[in-house]
Amino acid sequence: MEEQIVCYGCGVAIQTENPEGLGYAPPSSLDKEAVICKRCFRLKHYNEIQDVSLTDDDFIRILNSIGQTQGLVVKIVDIFDFDGSWLPGLHRFVGNNKVLLVGNKVDLLPKSVKPNKVINWMKQAAKELGLKPEDVFLISADKGTGVKELAQAIEDYREEKDVYVVGCTNVGKSTFINRIIREFSGEEDVITTSQFPGTTLDMIDIPLDNGASLFDTPGIINRHQMAHFIDKKELKIISPKKEIKPKIFQLNEGQTLFFGGLARFDYVKGGRNSFTCYVSNDLYIHRTKLENADNVYKEHLGDLLQPPGKDVVESFPELVAHEFTIKEEKTDIVFSGLGWVTINEPGIKVVAHVPKGVGVMVRKSLI
């Protein structure tokens, strides 16, 4: 049987028959040493994403196969979108395998934040979500922070077995794997990385020195992420690139904050209070009166309130209201994929509006 050729960028099986299908590469490219699929080629050269359909069943199949083998599972979450990138149910699939939990993009958190506090927060959150990791790490795959320590821990915990790196799309899994490879072999950018969710398609097998492998599994698409409702340009605006500068608003009840046109935060009931917003520095926050908010949104979605831009306003889902009564001091209202608002005082009522389908939740303050 002929050996299956896989894409150098994303690991998908290469085929030469159907140019619109998954893993297509022109027949002439097969002579090359490293074959790359059309999708990765475009992504690499034009920063364009092509839609391909991968079913949830495929992901479940892959996760199941991990549970049936022995290995160390390295689960990566985006610390900026912890809940949105969590991958619920993973603990049911990993079987008896050990798990290391990794929070990526620590470079986005304000420098004043103590890493240990975040690590403890992650441990607590993991426990509540049913996962018992052996250890928790905070890294920046992009800047390299904490990667050496994590690589060492992987080496120690894997006990010569395979390693499976899992994570939802856009958590920075490819960036992390490229880092690790660079760390160990000196090779640059072996795997496709991109800002657009869903770019790593099949398991990539990276040999480790004792015959075991490090497997990069596909990013599981989490449909509750804001990223799926906006276009590429807009994703750039809401994805923070560098340290987030928290923005503090003193609000009276009856005031509203708009996060572009993507989300809305109403302060419904309580005394004068301060609210700290942790969102991309490039995202415009507009303050207005609650009584005017509906009209402002209707009239200014796509111009004053953007993203979404004018051209996608038509297809943008309507905002849905979620009401919260805050019971404890230091609570975050999280807009999945966009950021969060920290509320200091308990006993107040707020309403968070997000596009239909996007997750919004309340949690103990991360910071």
In sequence order, the β-bridge partners of residue 278 are 340
Site for ligand GDP in 4-23 (CB under 6 A): none
| Strands (DSSP E) found in 108-194 | 135-138, 162-167
Classify residue 27 by its DSSP letter. G
| b/e code 272-295 from CB counts within 10 Å (16+ = b) | ebebbbbbbeebeebebebeebee
Token pair 């991968």 in the structure block, residue: 54
Cα separation, 127 vs 175, whole angstroms: 27
- Binding window for ligand GDP (CB under 6 A); candidates: 122-130, 149-157, 172-180, 330-338: 172-180
- Near ligand GDP by CB under 6 A: residue from 63, 199, 224, 334: 199
- Near ligand GDP by CB under 6 A: residue from 11, 82, 200, 266: 200
218 part of the interface to ligand GDP, by CB under 6 A = no
- Near ligand GDP by CB under 6 A: residue from 81, 83, 107, 234: 107
Helix (H, G, I), strand (E, B) or coil at 319: strand
- Binding window for ligand GDP (CB under 6 A); candidates: 105-113, 226-234, 268-276, 290-298: 105-113
- Near ligand GDP by CB under 6 A: residue from 170, 273, 280, 306: 170
Shortest distance in whole angstroms from residue 295 CB to ligand GDP: 36
Cα separation, 322 vs 350, whole angstroms: 8
Token pair 């599972």 in the structure block, residue: 73
260 part of the interface to ligand GDP, by CB under 6 A = no
CB 243 within 8 A of CB 286: no
Nearer to ligand GDP, 104 or 225 (CB): 104
Shortest distance in whole angstroms from residue 48 CB to ligand GDP: 14
- Near ligand GDP by CB under 6 A: residue from 39, 105, 158, 224: 105
- Near ligand GDP by CB under 6 A: residue from 6, 11, 125, 140: 140
CB 149 within 8 A of CB 115: no
Nearer to ligand GDP, 206 or 293 (CB): 206
Shortest distance in whole angstroms from residue 267 CB to ligand GDP: 30
Residue type, 353: H
Nearer to ligand GDP, 180 or 354 (CB): 180
Cα separation, 227 vs 233, whole angstroms: 11
- Near ligand GDP by CB under 6 A: residue from 163, 175, 265, 343: 175
- Binding window for ligand GDP (CB under 6 A); candidates: 24-32, 55-63, 139-147, 180-188: 139-147
Nearer to ligand GDP, 153 or 171 (CB): 171
Which positions ≥6 away from 118 have C-beta within 8 Å?
79, 103, 106, 109, 138, 366, 367
Tokens of 73: 């599972």
Cα separation, 154 vs 162, whole angstroms: 10
Give the total of residues touching ligand GDP (CB under 6 A): 21
277 part of the interface to ligand GDP, by CB under 6 A = no
Cα separation, 144 vs 319, whole angstroms: 38
- Near ligand GDP by CB under 6 A: residue from 133, 219, 270, 337: 219
Helix (H, G, I), strand (E, B) or coil at 277: strand
Please give the residue ranges that form the binding site for ligand GDP (CB under 6 A): 104-105, 107-108, 140-142, 167, 169-175, 193-195, 199-200, 219
